[in-house]
Amino acid sequence: MSDITVSFQVIPICQDPYPVVDKAIEVVQRSGVKYEVGPHETTMEGELEQLLEIVKAGHRACLEAGAERVITFVKIVDVVGGTTIADKVAKYRE
């Protein structure tokens, strides 16, 4: 199966959301997949099933870190033949 990209954004409802968001990012970092943290979301590339498991774990990490509620937005981009983060941003980084 070809690589796809999945982006997700967690919005923890709590007093100080930044340390809680950091917990979701730590889940991604520990996963070993290629990823980029952006100002509004984190984008990963790999196999769909693995990436969705990471999204679920990141969402749950926010609740475990003390958020009373978490809203998570997910974007999935799948292209015949595969796609990568670099495919999408290379022309802006030259």
Residues whose CB falls within 8 Å of the CB of residue 48, separated by 6 or more in sequence, listed in order: 1, 4, 6, 76, 78
Fold of 4-92: Alpha-Beta Plaits (3.30.70)
- pLDDT tens, the chain, 94 aa long: 679 999 999 999 999 999 999 999 999 999 999 999 999 999 999 999 999 999 999 999 999 999 999 999 999 999 998 888 888 888 898 7
| pTM, full prediction | 0.92
CA distances from 73 to 7, 59, 81, 82, 87 (A): 8, 10, 25, 22, 22
Let me know how long the chain is.
94
Contact 16, 62 (CB under 8 A): no
What's the CA angle centered on 53, arms 92 and 18, to 5 degrees? 65
